[in-house]
Each structure stands twice: as C-alpha cells, then as structure tokens.
Amino acid sequence: ADAAGHRVSRVFFADPDFLETFDVPLGFSAYGSTEAGGLCHIWAWRRGERPDHPEGMSRYGGRARHEVQWRVDSDGEIEVRADRAGVLFSGYRRADGLVRPFDEDGWFATGDLGRVDEAGNLVFIERASESIRVKGEFVPIGYVEQRFASVDGVTDVAVWRRNSELVDDEIVLYLVGPSIPTEAIEAVSRQLPPFMPPAAAARWAEKPRDSGVGKVRRRLLDDATVLEWVDLAEAPR
C-alpha cells in the first residue's frame, strides 16, 4: 500500500514471486498478437498459486475469448479463427493491395508454437522460428535456461539448437563463466525430462543481445567466439 493506503488489487503480469513479494492478490497471463486484435486468451492467477507445467506462469494462455476459435495443428503451431468479422485483422496491407493470410476455412497460422494442457487450455511455448524440437517434443527454452542459470559460477546462459545426426535438433548450452562446470550441468540434466538436457556446452565471453531490449539474439549464437566447447555425451565422468 502507498502512503494513502491504496493497494494494487491485480496486475497484468503473472509471476508467482512477483505476486508474493508485492502482496498482489491477482495476476493475469495471456496470449495474443496484433493479428488477433490483441489478446485472444487470458487466465487469472491468485497469489500463492504455482503452475504445474514447465513453461511457467507467464506463458499460460488459458481460455480463449468467446469470439475466437483456436487449435494447435499437427506441427504444434497455434492457429486462430474468428467467429465474426472484426475480431481478427483483415490482412497485411501491401502496395498492391491487401494480403489475406488465411486458409480456405478462415484459419490464421500464428507462427507460434503451443500445446493443449490437460484442462483443454492453451500453453504458449515459443515462436516457431526460435524453437527447439528434440525427440518429437518442443523444448521450453526459458525453463531450461532458468534451471542451468542456477549453476554456481555461471553468470549468463542461453540454449539453442544444432542439427542432430538422427532426427530433430540437439540442445547446446551456451554460458558465460570461468569454465564449463560439466559435473554441475550433468547434475541438473538428470533432474530434467529426457528431451531437455543439452548435448553440448559452449563457453563464450558474452552473450549476443539486442541493444534495445536486451533479448538474446539466438541466431548469432553459432557465430559467437567460443572459448571452450564440451560434448557432454563424451565428457569424462
């Protein structure tokens, strides 16, 4: 509460530690896009609740608003369709007219990956262009990074992909630190589902980030100067 006794009753931000720290009773997570007219899914979280899925609270889209239909296709991409005109965008304006990126049934492919949880609600995973798929499963990048960020001596971390010799991708763990703590990495890996542990680890001086918002520039990770490299499957135990 402030000096006048005013309290924040709800926030459009869903993080369990934030709600606890600032004593906010209610937080909201959501999923949407400009093309979807803003938000098309939303979910309310009460202080003290914790998500039981690895993607975390902020990526829980929840239920769709009543004018929007949605589905996740066989490749894991989220698609949306409007019940009436004016709910979704009409298309992309180009110099030669309007481009309408809908299929014949009116579905719009968002370019986002998601899944349907046990309650039938939407969980957002990642942009399809920034996704990692291992053994047929899409990897929740933020969750994996969070787990390895807790390793002693690691000051910054990111995960990205490399081509697998078999199928799909393999995870590469990029980190900043004095060395690659192989044993600690493997200890964390043993606590993860079998498709989430990294196949290799690379150490570099600093992580490439966008200068404006500080977001990791994952597509530049392969080109960053590597100080040390370890194939974890071949690392001595």
Give the chain's domains with CATH numbers: 10-128 (2.30.38.10), 133-234 (3.30.300.30)
**Mean pLDDT, rounded, for 13-29:** 90
What is the pLDDT, as a whole number, of residue 180? 94
DSSP string, the chain: --TT-----EES---HHHHHHTT-SEEEEEEEETTTTEEEEEEEEETT---SSTT-GGGEEEEEPTTEEEEE-TTSEEEEEESSTTSS---EEETTEEE--B-TT--EEEEEEEEE-TTS-EEEEEEGGG--EETTEE--HHHHHHHHHTSTT--EEEEEEEE-SSSSEEEEEEEESSS--HHHHHHHHTTS-TTSS-SEEEEESS--B-TTT--B-GGGGGGSPEEEEEEGGGS--
What is the pLDDT, as a whole number, of residue 43? 95
What is the pLDDT, as a whole number, of residue 28? 94
Instruction: Quick: pLDDT tens for 110-149.
Output: 889 999 999 999 999 888 877 888 888 888 888 888 889 9
* Residue 150 pLDDT > 70: yes
Instruction: Quick: pLDDT tens for 170-202.
Output: 999 999 999 999 999 999 999 888 889 999 999
